A and B are shown apart, each in its own frame.
Chain A
Amino acid sequence: MTADLGYGMTLVALGLAVYGSIAAGAGARTGRLALVESAQHAAVGVFVLVTTCFALLTYAFLTFDFSVRYVATNTNLGTPFYYRITGVWGALEGSIILWSWMLALYTIILIVRHREGARELYPWALATMLGILAFFLLVMTVAAPPFQRQVPVPADGRGLNPLLEDTGMITHPVALYLGFTGFTVPFAFAMAALITGRIGDTWLALTRRWTIVAWYFLSLGLLIGGWWSYHVLGWGGYWAWDPVENAAFMPWLTGTAFLHSVMIQERRRMLRLWNISLVILTFGLTLFGTFLTRSGVIASVHAFTQGSIGVLFLSFLGLVLLSALGLVAWRWEAIRSEGELDSVVSRESAFLLNNVLLVAAAFTVFFGTVFPLLSEAVRGVKVSVGAPFFNQVNIPLFLSLVFLMGVGPLIAWRRASLDNLTRNFLWPVALGIVAAAAAFALGVRSVLAALTFATTVFVAVTIAVDFTRATRSRLRLGESLLPAMGRLLLRHNRRYGGFVVHLGILIIALGVMGSHAWSVQTETTLHRGEAAELAGYRVRFDGLTAVEESNHLKVVGAFTVSNGKPLGVLRPAKKFYPQEQAPIAYVDYRLGLREDLYLVLGDFARDGSQATIKLQVNRLVSWIWIGGLVLTLGAALAILPERHKSA
């Protein structure tokens, strides 16, 4: 019954979305407000229906309703309560429902926020949103229906993929999807701008906050994904350049480029064509990401499934790109703005360079991801493009970008005089060089590490210079320190929010450098009582215990750790799930500011007499998560509504 009800609601929602999209478009074309309002009602209807579907599916999960095939494949009687909730979006069909629900939610917010303010653009934006929503509902009905019946109804389900039984499961997909779907709204407004010919700055101003929110959630999703990878997947790393990771990273790169180039358009009314193209590219990349995850075209850790769904997504991706870019070509004359720059040495140039590097990085990631396919198509030979390639090619790009982070905010608009340059950059450059020398003196021999160190110090000092100078002027006006700083942050929250975000990126960059340059690892087999040593740590194997859990068998190893003083016991485990072919390794670790001790249990003897372990000391990884937190604060600050600027 649930299955049929859910399926019916999906169909009705699909019909409403299609109708709404057409009505909004027709209303925009003919100017008949009644049509647009009707479309709004349809949108509300879709939202209500999709929410109900979602609730229905969750209910089916909670009550072990195995008559629904999706429930039977993704849960079993032993699945704990909270994973029955988060398991709703744990596999393909549920992920589509989650995506559709978020799109519907964003459509409602768009209606509420913009129906008054943007008379010309709003109906077309609404039509676009509903059209995209209709596509995802189509996928839900035709290719990945969550409400298929399972006949005969089994006594017990298959169970959730054990890797998904983790707190990251609650947050990572949600954050990531909020980011992905968030970019739909700027795209919808860009389309509206192209269709109506109003390609000025209105559409940009309307979407500014949407872009930051979407960008923020995407960043958050990526960081949580890294954290999840680090502490669950048991391989000791946080980013593998897996195709699906890349698919989420590419829109982040172009989205970041967009965030910056928008500022040039705001100030100088230039780069309109570029900005519209960037938004289209970013949205296209989010679709590409969903295509990649669900089509099985490129092998990946995340790959959900193969089948007709891949064809659907590819067709839609093609439709979107061809129509959007076709519109751009059509409106070419109107969009192209004649640019004017006063000097090569200016903030505009820095932003342009920032864009070039970010888009080049996105291109690199894209080409590297599809190259195996290209190689096979052209040569018939399969090759792999993995982490070593991406690291080698991208690191110079990213390092240059970090450097630009220091230059951009401080260099003057229009024309940076020599005076401006020396005042702003003398200290940062000097201290950067000092930092590199200090690193060298302290024994750092990796050129990359020294460069990263120097660049990070350079950028940090630029931020400090700006902040102290601004605070000092406020102090001169008679304010006391803390209120001065606070008022500074709030009055100019966009600028300082950006600074804090940059600071977060800096900290992440340091963490990445530390983990790449200075991490060590070893693998060894230990008999009971034997110990392994690495980087000053001593890890002694004490024995194994086997524990029966509700839906799996867990073998836990006990390892006493010390580094001069006792540090406790680590318990890495191997979980054996009946429905999984191979056991899942669960790491145990000791996190620290400077380094993490990371222990993976490998092969072991049945009687517990010996065990093979992989021991890692990862340096500075915690800084990545700390940087993420700082980034969050910065984004939050930047999104605050602007106060009126006074002297």
Chain B
Amino acid sequence: MSRPVAVLVVALSVLALAVRPAAAQSGKPVSEDVVHEVAAQLRCVVCQNLSVADSPSEMAGQMRAIIRERLAAGESPAEVQRYFVERYGEWILLSPPRRGFNLLVWLLPLVAVVVGLAVTVALVWRWTHRRRGVRTAPVAVDPAMSERIRRELESGR
């Protein structure tokens, strides 16, 4: 190979190496807040009902380290979550995903409130309208008397 060609090849190789994305090293600095957010959605597998973010156990610490590594490697929080779900099942999510059967647990409380309100409104309607027929004529009250009654009520109540 002639000298100039060799130099060109070397130069091009160096250039190629330089622009290749640095996938080997973890470049992205990861904020602890993001780690915490992701970890707070995952269930600590050796605890009872604590999140990976909260649990002081060793396994939770290791899981947080794994989350940190994966986020640093460029994965999105959703992808990190999916990684855990693929290995542990839906169980590892502290909040059931809003799909299919799980919608029941998300919607039923809302339904309960709506039904409760509806029943209450219906009852209140019936109770306020029952009186319609028997309403007595309002008694005319002297304003001074009214004011005195009010003051006494205030002091006594």
Per the bound structure, the CA–CA distance linking A243 and B50 in Å amounts to 11
In the complex, A364 has a CB within 8 A of chain B? yes
Per the bound structure, the CA–CA distance linking A477 and B33 in Å amounts to 59
Per the bound structure, the CA–CA distance linking A359 and B108 in Å amounts to 13
Per the bound structure, the CA–CA distance linking A339 and B123 in Å amounts to 8
**Which residues on A sit within 8 Å (CB–CB) of B124?**
341, 344, 349, 352
Residue pair B50, A240 in contact (C-beta under 8 Å) = yes
In the complex, B147 has a CB within 8 A of chain A? no
In the complex, A607 has a CB within 8 A of chain B? no
Per the bound structure, the CA–CA distance linking A368 and B33 in Å amounts to 27
Interface residues of B in 99-140 (CB under 8 A from A): 101-102, 104-106, 108-110, 112-113, 116-117, 120, 123-124, 126-128, 130-131
Render B1-42 as a binary contact track against A, CB cut-off 8 A, 1 for contact: 000000000000000000000000000000011011000110
Segment from A25-33, A123-131, A388-396 that makes contact with B: A388-396
Residue pair A381, B90 in contact (C-beta under 8 Å) = yes
Residue pair A363, B109 in contact (C-beta under 8 Å) = yes
Residue pair B101, A582 in contact (C-beta under 8 Å) = no
**Which residues on A sit within 8 Å (CB–CB) of B108?**
363, 367
Residue pair A356, B101 in contact (C-beta under 8 Å) = no
Per the bound structure, the CA–CA distance linking A363 and B113 in Å amounts to 9
Interface residues of A in 247-300 (CB under 8 A from B): 270, 299-300
Question: How many residues of A sit at the interface, in one of the four size bands?
Answer: 35 or more
Residue pair B89, A341 in contact (C-beta under 8 Å) = no
In the complex, A407 has a CB within 8 A of chain B? no
Residue pair A360, B58 in contact (C-beta under 8 Å) = no
**Which residues on B sit within 8 Å (CB–CB) of A236?**
54
B interface, by DSSP: helix, strand, loop or mixed? helix
Residue pair A647, B156 in contact (C-beta under 8 Å) = yes
Residue ID in chain B nearest A299 by CB atoms: B48
Residue pair A393, B109 in contact (C-beta under 8 Å) = yes
Minimum CB–CB distance from B133 to chain A (whole Å) comes to 12
Residue pair A344, B96 in contact (C-beta under 8 Å) = no
Residue pair B157, A492 in contact (C-beta under 8 Å) = yes
Residue pair B92, A603 in contact (C-beta under 8 Å) = no
Residue pair B56, A386 in contact (C-beta under 8 Å) = no
Per the bound structure, the CA–CA distance linking A364 and B116 in Å amounts to 13
Residue pair B64, A523 in contact (C-beta under 8 Å) = yes
**Which residues on B sit within 8 Å (CB–CB) of A600?**
56
Interface residues of A in 333-373 (CB under 8 A from B): 338-344, 349, 352-353, 356-357, 359-360, 363-364, 367-368, 371
Residue pair A521, B157 in contact (C-beta under 8 Å) = no
Contacts A384-B92, A522-B32 given; 14 further ones with Cβ under 8 A?
A270-B127, A339-B127, A341-B128, A353-B117, A356-B116, A379-B101, A381-B89, A397-B113, A470-B155, A473-B154, A476-B155, A521-B53, A602-B56, A647-B156
Identify the 4 closest CB pairs spanning chains A and B, nearest first. A386-B94, A473-B155, A364-B109, A356-B116
Cβ contacts A to B, 9 pairs, < 8 Å: A299-B48, A301-B50, A356-B113, A356-B117, A378-B101, A381-B90, A384-B96, A388-B94, A495-B157
B residues bordering A, Cβ < 8 Å?
32-33, 35-36, 40-41, 43, 47-51, 53-58, 61, 64, 89-96, 101-102, 104-106, 108-110, 112-113, 116-117, 120, 123-124, 126-128, 130-131, 151-152, 154-157
